[in-house]
Amino acid sequence: MAKQASQQGLNGFQDIRFGMFIHWGLYAIIAKQEWVMHTDRIPVSEYEKLAPQFNPVKFNADEWVSIAADAGQKYMVITSRHHDGFSMYDTALSDYKITNTPFKRDPIRELADACARNGNVKLGFYSSLLDWHHPAYRFRQESGLAWSDYLDFLHGQVRELCTNYGEIACMWFDGDWPRHAIDESNAYFQAGGSFEYEKLFDMIHTLQPQAVVINNRHAEPLPGEDIQNFEQDLPGMNAAGFNESTIYDYPLEVCMTINDHWGFSANDHNTKSTRHLVHLLVRSASVGGNFLLNVGPTALGEIVPQHADRLRGVGKWLKANGESIYGTRKGVIPPTGVSVSTRKGDTHYVHVLDYISDSVTLTGVPESITSVRLLQGGAALALTRSEGKVVVTIPEASRDPFDTVLVLT
Protein backbone atom coordinates (compact mmCIF):
# COMPACT_ATOMS: atom_id res chain seq x y z
CA MET A 1 0.00 0.00 0.00
CA ALA A 2 1.48 3.30 -1.09
CA LYS A 3 1.87 6.02 1.51
CA GLN A 4 -0.20 9.20 1.51
CA ALA A 5 0.51 12.66 2.85
CA SER A 6 -0.13 13.06 6.57
CA GLN A 7 -3.67 14.10 7.49
CA GLN A 8 -2.25 17.30 8.90
CA GLY A 9 -0.50 18.02 5.61
CA LEU A 10 -3.59 17.17 3.57
CA ASN A 11 -5.86 19.35 5.71
CA GLY A 12 -3.35 22.18 5.66
CA PHE A 13 -3.08 22.07 1.88
CA GLN A 14 -6.86 22.30 1.50
CA ASP A 15 -7.02 25.18 3.98
CA ILE A 16 -4.71 27.44 1.97
CA ARG A 17 -6.93 27.22 -1.13
CA PHE A 18 -5.11 29.66 -3.47
CA GLY A 19 -1.66 29.35 -5.02
CA MET A 20 0.64 30.73 -7.71
CA PHE A 21 1.87 28.46 -10.50
CA ILE A 22 5.13 29.57 -12.17
CA HIS A 23 6.23 28.26 -15.58
CA TRP A 24 9.73 29.60 -16.17
CA GLY A 25 12.65 28.31 -18.19
CA LEU A 26 14.80 28.77 -21.29
CA TYR A 27 11.66 28.97 -23.42
CA ALA A 28 11.04 32.46 -21.99
CA ILE A 29 13.88 33.69 -24.25
CA ILE A 30 11.95 32.64 -27.37
CA ALA A 31 8.76 34.04 -25.76
CA LYS A 32 6.47 31.60 -27.55
CA GLN A 33 5.34 29.47 -24.54
CA GLU A 34 6.84 26.44 -22.83
CA TRP A 35 6.22 23.88 -25.60
CA VAL A 36 8.16 25.82 -28.23
CA MET A 37 10.93 23.21 -28.44
CA HIS A 38 8.28 20.73 -29.62
CA THR A 39 5.98 23.03 -31.59
CA ASP A 40 8.85 24.60 -33.56
CA ARG A 41 10.71 21.28 -33.85
CA ILE A 42 13.91 22.71 -32.40
CA PRO A 43 16.68 20.09 -32.23
CA VAL A 44 18.38 19.50 -28.90
CA SER A 45 21.67 20.88 -30.21
CA GLU A 46 19.99 24.15 -31.23
CA TYR A 47 17.85 24.50 -28.12
CA GLU A 48 20.93 24.04 -25.92
CA LYS A 49 22.27 27.31 -27.37
CA LEU A 50 19.67 29.18 -25.32
CA ALA A 51 21.41 28.32 -22.04
CA PRO A 52 24.42 30.65 -22.56
CA GLN A 53 21.92 33.47 -23.30
CA PHE A 54 19.87 33.04 -20.12
CA ASN A 55 20.57 35.81 -17.63
CA PRO A 56 17.40 36.90 -15.77
CA VAL A 57 19.03 39.86 -14.06
CA LYS A 58 15.69 41.33 -12.92
CA PHE A 59 14.69 38.23 -10.94
CA ASN A 60 13.91 39.12 -7.35
CA ALA A 61 12.64 36.27 -5.19
CA ASP A 62 11.30 38.57 -2.48
CA GLU A 63 9.32 40.51 -5.09
CA TRP A 64 7.75 37.33 -6.49
CA VAL A 65 6.79 36.12 -3.02
CA SER A 66 5.45 39.58 -2.19
CA ILE A 67 3.22 39.52 -5.30
CA ALA A 68 1.88 36.11 -4.26
CA ALA A 69 1.27 37.31 -0.70
CA ASP A 70 -0.46 40.49 -1.94
CA ALA A 71 -2.69 38.28 -4.10
CA GLY A 72 -3.69 36.22 -1.08
CA GLN A 73 -1.89 33.18 -2.48
CA LYS A 74 -0.63 30.86 0.23
CA TYR A 75 1.64 28.65 -1.87
CA MET A 76 3.63 28.76 -5.08
CA VAL A 77 4.60 25.89 -7.37
CA ILE A 78 7.55 26.50 -9.70
CA THR A 79 8.85 24.41 -12.59
CA SER A 80 12.06 22.82 -11.35
CA ARG A 81 12.43 21.19 -14.78
CA HIS A 82 9.92 21.35 -17.62
CA HIS A 83 9.66 19.06 -20.66
CA ASP A 84 12.62 20.79 -22.32
CA GLY A 85 14.87 19.14 -19.71
CA PHE A 86 16.54 22.30 -18.41
CA SER A 87 16.84 22.34 -14.61
CA MET A 88 15.96 25.64 -12.92
CA TYR A 89 17.93 24.86 -9.78
CA ASP A 90 21.43 23.74 -8.82
CA THR A 91 20.97 20.02 -9.36
CA ALA A 92 23.95 17.73 -8.84
CA LEU A 93 22.58 15.33 -11.46
CA SER A 94 22.95 17.43 -14.61
CA ASP A 95 25.15 20.16 -16.06
CA TYR A 96 22.16 21.41 -18.07
CA LYS A 97 21.01 23.83 -15.37
CA ILE A 98 20.58 27.49 -14.53
CA THR A 99 23.71 27.73 -12.37
CA ASN A 100 25.74 27.00 -15.53
CA THR A 101 24.30 30.05 -17.32
CA PRO A 102 25.52 33.66 -17.05
CA PHE A 103 22.98 34.04 -14.21
CA LYS A 104 24.90 31.45 -12.10
CA ARG A 105 22.42 31.65 -9.19
CA ASP A 106 19.84 29.13 -7.92
CA PRO A 107 16.45 30.92 -8.07
CA ILE A 108 14.70 28.07 -6.28
CA ARG A 109 17.06 28.44 -3.33
CA GLU A 110 16.31 32.15 -3.32
CA LEU A 111 12.56 31.52 -3.48
CA ALA A 112 12.77 29.04 -0.61
CA ASP A 113 14.60 31.63 1.48
CA ALA A 114 12.15 34.39 0.47
CA CYS A 115 9.17 32.20 1.43
CA ALA A 116 10.79 31.54 4.81
CA ARG A 117 11.28 35.27 5.35
CA ASN A 118 7.72 36.08 4.32
CA GLY A 119 6.18 33.35 6.47
CA ASN A 120 2.81 33.34 4.65
CA VAL A 121 3.67 31.58 1.38
CA LYS A 122 4.77 27.94 1.09
CA LEU A 123 6.93 26.60 -1.75
CA GLY A 124 6.16 23.58 -3.92
CA PHE A 125 7.76 22.07 -7.01
CA TYR A 126 6.62 21.05 -10.47
CA SER A 127 8.68 18.22 -11.99
CA SER A 128 8.30 16.99 -15.54
CA LEU A 129 8.08 13.21 -15.90
CA LEU A 130 9.28 13.44 -19.47
CA ASP A 131 12.45 15.09 -20.73
CA TRP A 132 13.08 16.03 -24.36
CA HIS A 133 16.77 16.60 -23.62
CA HIS A 134 17.89 13.63 -21.52
CA PRO A 135 19.39 10.91 -23.78
CA ALA A 136 18.04 8.07 -21.62
CA TYR A 137 14.51 9.45 -21.86
CA ARG A 138 14.79 9.91 -25.61
CA PHE A 139 15.91 6.28 -25.67
CA ARG A 140 18.56 6.65 -28.32
CA GLN A 141 20.40 3.35 -28.45
CA GLU A 142 23.63 5.09 -29.38
CA SER A 143 23.62 6.81 -25.98
CA GLY A 144 24.42 3.49 -24.29
CA LEU A 145 21.84 4.34 -21.59
CA ALA A 146 18.88 2.33 -20.36
CA TRP A 147 15.48 3.49 -19.12
CA SER A 148 16.66 2.77 -15.58
CA ASP A 149 19.23 5.55 -16.04
CA TYR A 150 16.43 8.03 -16.67
CA LEU A 151 14.48 6.78 -13.66
CA ASP A 152 17.59 7.24 -11.51
CA PHE A 153 17.80 10.82 -12.76
CA LEU A 154 14.09 11.58 -12.29
CA HIS A 155 13.88 10.04 -8.82
CA GLY A 156 17.20 11.59 -7.88
CA GLN A 157 16.03 15.08 -8.77
CA VAL A 158 12.84 14.63 -6.78
CA ARG A 159 14.95 13.50 -3.81
CA GLU A 160 17.05 16.67 -4.14
CA LEU A 161 13.95 18.85 -4.14
CA CYS A 162 12.57 17.05 -1.10
CA THR A 163 15.78 17.36 0.92
CA ASN A 164 17.54 20.59 -0.07
CA TYR A 165 14.88 23.30 0.27
CA GLY A 166 13.20 22.79 3.64
CA GLU A 167 9.57 21.83 4.16
CA ILE A 168 7.58 22.01 0.92
CA ALA A 169 3.88 22.26 0.14
CA CYS A 170 3.67 19.75 -2.71
CA MET A 171 5.33 17.79 -5.49
CA TRP A 172 3.44 18.38 -8.74
CA PHE A 173 4.05 16.01 -11.68
CA ASP A 174 3.23 16.43 -15.35
CA GLY A 175 3.94 14.54 -18.56
CA ASP A 176 2.67 10.97 -18.20
CA TRP A 177 1.15 10.35 -21.60
CA PRO A 178 2.33 7.00 -23.03
CA ARG A 179 2.18 6.73 -26.81
CA HIS A 180 1.67 10.49 -27.25
CA ALA A 181 2.83 11.72 -30.64
CA ILE A 182 5.75 13.59 -29.08
CA ASP A 183 7.10 10.27 -27.78
CA GLU A 184 6.52 8.30 -30.96
CA SER A 185 10.23 7.44 -31.22
CA ASN A 186 10.49 6.37 -27.58
CA ALA A 187 10.63 2.58 -27.60
CA TYR A 188 10.13 2.49 -23.85
CA PHE A 189 6.73 4.15 -24.10
CA GLN A 190 5.75 2.00 -27.05
CA ALA A 191 6.28 -0.93 -24.69
CA GLY A 192 4.00 0.70 -22.09
CA GLY A 193 6.40 0.97 -19.17
CA SER A 194 6.14 2.87 -15.89
CA PHE A 195 7.75 5.65 -13.87
CA GLU A 196 7.79 3.42 -10.75
CA TYR A 197 5.25 5.66 -9.10
CA GLU A 198 4.88 3.70 -5.88
CA LYS A 199 8.59 3.96 -5.19
CA LEU A 200 8.62 7.64 -6.20
CA PHE A 201 5.59 8.64 -4.15
CA ASP A 202 6.70 6.67 -1.09
CA MET A 203 10.04 8.48 -1.17
CA ILE A 204 8.28 11.86 -1.22
CA HIS A 205 5.91 10.93 1.61
CA THR A 206 8.84 9.64 3.67
CA LEU A 207 11.03 12.71 3.14
CA GLN A 208 8.19 15.25 3.23
CA PRO A 209 5.29 13.73 5.23
CA GLN A 210 3.23 16.92 5.04
CA ALA A 211 3.72 17.53 1.31
CA VAL A 212 0.94 16.41 -1.03
CA VAL A 213 1.56 14.62 -4.34
CA ILE A 214 -0.29 15.77 -7.45
CA ASN A 215 -0.13 14.22 -10.93
CA ASN A 216 -1.78 16.35 -13.57
CA ARG A 217 -2.30 13.59 -16.12
CA HIS A 218 -4.37 11.10 -14.13
CA ALA A 219 -8.13 11.47 -14.34
CA GLU A 220 -8.33 8.80 -11.65
CA PRO A 221 -5.65 9.35 -8.98
CA LEU A 222 -3.11 6.58 -8.48
CA PRO A 223 -2.27 5.09 -5.07
CA GLY A 224 0.04 7.57 -3.38
CA GLU A 225 -1.43 10.63 -5.08
CA ASP A 226 -3.20 12.95 -2.67
CA ILE A 227 -4.94 15.50 -4.90
CA GLN A 228 -6.99 15.16 -8.08
CA ASN A 229 -6.13 17.92 -10.54
CA PHE A 230 -8.18 19.62 -13.23
CA GLU A 231 -6.33 21.66 -15.87
CA GLN A 232 -7.88 24.78 -17.41
CA ASP A 233 -11.25 23.59 -16.19
CA LEU A 234 -13.59 23.60 -13.25
CA PRO A 235 -14.57 20.08 -12.14
CA GLY A 236 -17.72 18.92 -13.84
CA MET A 237 -17.80 21.89 -16.23
CA ASN A 238 -14.97 21.18 -18.61
CA ALA A 239 -14.17 20.37 -22.20
CA ALA A 240 -11.55 17.76 -21.36
CA GLY A 241 -13.82 14.80 -20.72
CA PHE A 242 -14.25 15.13 -16.96
CA ASN A 243 -17.73 15.28 -15.46
CA GLU A 244 -19.33 14.57 -12.11
CA SER A 245 -18.70 10.82 -12.54
CA THR A 246 -14.94 11.42 -12.85
CA ILE A 247 -14.62 13.44 -9.65
CA TYR A 248 -13.26 10.95 -7.15
CA ASP A 249 -13.33 11.11 -3.39
CA TYR A 250 -10.12 13.14 -3.30
CA PRO A 251 -9.32 16.74 -2.48
CA LEU A 252 -9.23 18.78 -5.68
CA GLU A 253 -7.05 21.39 -7.31
CA VAL A 254 -7.82 23.47 -10.40
CA CYS A 255 -4.84 24.89 -12.32
CA MET A 256 -5.37 27.66 -14.87
CA THR A 257 -3.45 30.27 -16.81
CA ILE A 258 -3.92 34.00 -16.26
CA ASN A 259 -3.94 34.43 -20.05
CA ASP A 260 -3.84 31.62 -22.66
CA HIS A 261 -0.37 30.14 -22.07
CA TRP A 262 1.71 28.72 -19.23
CA GLY A 263 5.16 29.92 -20.27
CA PHE A 264 5.78 33.54 -21.28
CA SER A 265 4.29 34.35 -24.68
CA ALA A 266 5.01 37.86 -25.92
CA ASN A 267 1.96 37.94 -28.21
CA ASP A 268 -0.57 36.69 -25.65
CA HIS A 269 -2.50 39.69 -24.32
CA ASN A 270 -5.70 37.81 -23.44
CA THR A 271 -5.39 38.42 -19.70
CA LYS A 272 -8.39 37.39 -17.61
CA SER A 273 -10.19 40.13 -15.69
CA THR A 274 -9.88 40.39 -11.93
CA ARG A 275 -13.61 39.73 -11.59
CA HIS A 276 -13.34 36.54 -13.63
CA LEU A 277 -10.33 35.39 -11.60
CA VAL A 278 -12.27 35.92 -8.37
CA HIS A 279 -15.12 33.85 -9.78
CA LEU A 280 -12.78 31.03 -10.78
CA LEU A 281 -11.28 31.01 -7.29
CA VAL A 282 -14.71 30.99 -5.66
CA ARG A 283 -16.10 28.30 -7.96
CA SER A 284 -13.04 26.13 -7.29
CA ALA A 285 -13.49 26.49 -3.53
CA SER A 286 -17.22 25.74 -3.85
CA VAL A 287 -16.46 22.23 -5.13
CA GLY A 288 -13.75 21.69 -2.52
CA GLY A 289 -10.81 22.63 -4.73
CA ASN A 290 -7.70 24.77 -4.48
CA PHE A 291 -7.08 27.27 -7.28
CA LEU A 292 -3.53 27.32 -8.70
CA LEU A 293 -3.21 30.35 -10.99
CA ASN A 294 -0.26 30.51 -13.37
CA VAL A 295 2.15 33.29 -14.29
CA GLY A 296 4.87 32.98 -16.93
CA PRO A 297 7.81 35.25 -16.04
CA THR A 298 9.92 36.86 -18.77
CA ALA A 299 13.46 35.90 -19.72
CA LEU A 300 14.66 38.79 -17.55
CA GLY A 301 12.92 37.30 -14.53
CA GLU A 302 9.94 39.62 -14.22
CA ILE A 303 6.31 38.71 -13.58
CA VAL A 304 4.34 40.59 -16.24
CA PRO A 305 3.11 43.83 -14.57
CA GLN A 306 -0.45 43.43 -15.85
CA HIS A 307 -0.57 39.94 -14.35
CA ALA A 308 0.77 41.21 -11.04
CA ASP A 309 -1.93 43.92 -11.04
CA ARG A 310 -4.70 41.37 -11.64
CA LEU A 311 -3.34 39.17 -8.87
CA ARG A 312 -3.28 42.07 -6.44
CA GLY A 313 -6.88 42.81 -7.40
CA VAL A 314 -7.86 39.29 -6.32
CA GLY A 315 -5.90 39.86 -3.13
CA LYS A 316 -7.85 43.03 -2.39
CA TRP A 317 -11.12 41.07 -2.61
CA LEU A 318 -9.69 38.29 -0.44
CA LYS A 319 -8.59 40.74 2.23
CA ALA A 320 -12.25 41.52 2.85
CA ASN A 321 -13.71 38.10 2.04
CA GLY A 322 -10.98 35.54 2.73
CA GLU A 323 -12.96 34.01 5.60
CA SER A 324 -15.28 32.51 2.98
CA ILE A 325 -12.39 30.84 1.10
CA TYR A 326 -9.50 29.88 3.41
CA GLY A 327 -10.14 26.85 5.57
CA THR A 328 -13.48 26.13 3.87
CA ARG A 329 -14.72 22.93 2.28
CA LYS A 330 -17.15 22.05 -0.50
CA GLY A 331 -20.48 23.84 -0.14
CA VAL A 332 -23.63 21.86 0.68
CA ILE A 333 -26.06 24.54 -0.52
CA PRO A 334 -26.55 23.71 -4.24
CA PRO A 335 -25.33 26.26 -6.80
CA THR A 336 -27.79 28.40 -8.72
CA GLY A 337 -27.39 30.32 -11.94
CA VAL A 338 -25.92 33.21 -9.96
CA SER A 339 -24.46 31.70 -6.78
CA VAL A 340 -22.26 28.99 -5.26
CA SER A 341 -21.47 28.14 -1.66
CA THR A 342 -18.63 27.15 0.64
CA ARG A 343 -18.78 26.10 4.26
CA LYS A 344 -16.76 26.02 7.46
CA GLY A 345 -18.37 23.67 9.97
CA ASP A 346 -21.96 24.83 10.49
CA THR A 347 -21.31 28.22 8.90
CA HIS A 348 -22.27 28.46 5.24
CA TYR A 349 -21.08 31.13 2.80
CA VAL A 350 -23.18 31.93 -0.24
CA HIS A 351 -21.26 33.73 -2.98
CA VAL A 352 -23.55 35.84 -5.14
CA LEU A 353 -21.66 36.28 -8.40
CA ASP A 354 -24.25 38.01 -10.52
CA TYR A 355 -27.60 39.77 -10.23
CA ILE A 356 -30.66 39.16 -12.37
CA SER A 357 -32.89 40.52 -9.60
CA ASP A 358 -32.57 42.01 -6.13
CA SER A 359 -32.96 38.60 -4.48
CA VAL A 360 -31.17 35.28 -4.55
CA THR A 361 -33.26 32.11 -4.20
CA LEU A 362 -31.60 29.06 -2.66
CA THR A 363 -32.58 25.44 -2.24
CA GLY A 364 -31.09 22.82 0.03
CA VAL A 365 -30.40 25.27 2.85
CA PRO A 366 -30.10 23.28 6.12
CA GLU A 367 -33.11 23.66 8.39
CA SER A 368 -30.79 24.74 11.19
CA ILE A 369 -30.06 28.01 9.38
CA THR A 370 -31.97 30.87 10.97
CA SER A 371 -30.02 34.01 10.11
CA VAL A 372 -28.09 35.63 7.29
CA ARG A 373 -25.75 38.59 7.24
CA LEU A 374 -23.31 40.23 4.85
CA LEU A 375 -19.72 39.15 5.35
CA GLN A 376 -18.53 42.69 4.58
CA GLY A 377 -19.89 45.01 7.24
CA GLY A 378 -21.94 42.34 9.02
CA ALA A 379 -25.37 43.85 8.29
CA ALA A 380 -28.24 41.44 8.93
CA LEU A 381 -30.51 40.57 6.00
CA ALA A 382 -34.02 39.14 5.94
CA LEU A 383 -34.28 35.40 5.31
CA THR A 384 -37.61 34.09 4.02
CA ARG A 385 -38.45 30.39 3.79
CA SER A 386 -41.21 29.15 1.51
CA GLU A 387 -41.88 25.76 -0.10
CA GLY A 388 -38.38 24.47 0.61
CA LYS A 389 -36.69 27.58 -0.73
CA VAL A 390 -34.84 30.40 1.00
CA VAL A 391 -35.00 33.90 -0.45
CA VAL A 392 -32.55 36.64 0.56
CA THR A 393 -32.83 40.21 -0.73
CA ILE A 394 -29.56 42.13 -1.01
CA PRO A 395 -29.69 45.93 -1.05
CA GLU A 396 -28.03 47.34 -4.15
CA ALA A 397 -25.73 49.56 -2.09
CA SER A 398 -24.38 46.49 -0.27
CA ARG A 399 -23.36 44.49 -3.34
CA ASP A 400 -19.74 43.74 -4.08
CA PRO A 401 -18.88 44.26 -7.80
CA PHE A 402 -17.09 40.89 -7.90
CA ASP A 403 -18.85 38.65 -5.37
CA THR A 404 -21.20 39.51 -2.51
CA VAL A 405 -20.72 36.98 0.29
CA LEU A 406 -23.62 36.05 2.58
CA VAL A 407 -22.97 34.29 5.89
CA LEU A 408 -25.70 31.82 6.89
CA THR A 409 -25.71 30.51 10.46
> pTM for the full model?
0.94
Residues 6+ apart with CB under 8 A from 51: 26, 86, 96, 100, 101
Domain boundary among 301, 327, 353: 327
- Sequential pLDDT tens for the chain (409 residues): 678 999 999 999 999 999 999 999 999 999 999 999 999 999 999 999 999 999 999 999 999 999 999 999 999 999 999 999 999 999 999 999 999 999 999 999 999 999 999 999 999 999 999 999 998 887 655 667 888 899 999 999 999 999 999 999 999 999 886 544 555 555 555 444 589 999 999 999 999 999 999 988 777 778 889 998 989 988 755 544 444 556 677 899 999 999 999 999 999 999 999 999 999 999 999 999 999 999 999 999 999 999 999 999 999 999 999 999 999 999 999 999 999 999 999 999 999 999 999 999 999 999 999 999 999 999 999 999 988 899 999 999 999 999 999 999 9
| CA–CA gap between residue 409 and residue 392 (Å, rounded) | 14
Q: Are residues 111 and 189 in the same domain?
A: yes
Q: Are residues 352 and 253 in the same domain?
A: no
Sign of the torsion formed by the C-alpha atoms of 83, 84, 90 and 92: positive
Range of the domain at 376: 331-408
DSSP at 80: E
Domain boundary among 295, 327, 359: 327
> 380-381 and 359-363: which strand pairing?
unpaired
Of 34, 29, 164, give the one whose Cα is nearest residue 103.
29
Q: Are residues 263 and 392 in the same domain?
A: no
Residue 1 lies in a domain: no
Q: Are residues 306 and 165 in the same domain?
A: yes
The CATH number of whichever domain residue 378 belongs to comes to 2.60.40.1180
Q: How far is CA 214 from CA 7, 41, 231, 336, in A?
A: 15, 29, 12, 30
Domain boundary among 309, 327, 345: 327
The CATH number of whichever domain residue 276 belongs to comes to 3.20.20.80
Q: Are residues 187 and 42 in the same domain?
A: yes
Q: Are residues 249 and 365 in the same domain?
A: no
Q: Are residues 144 and 38 in the same domain?
A: yes
> What's the domain count of the chain?
2
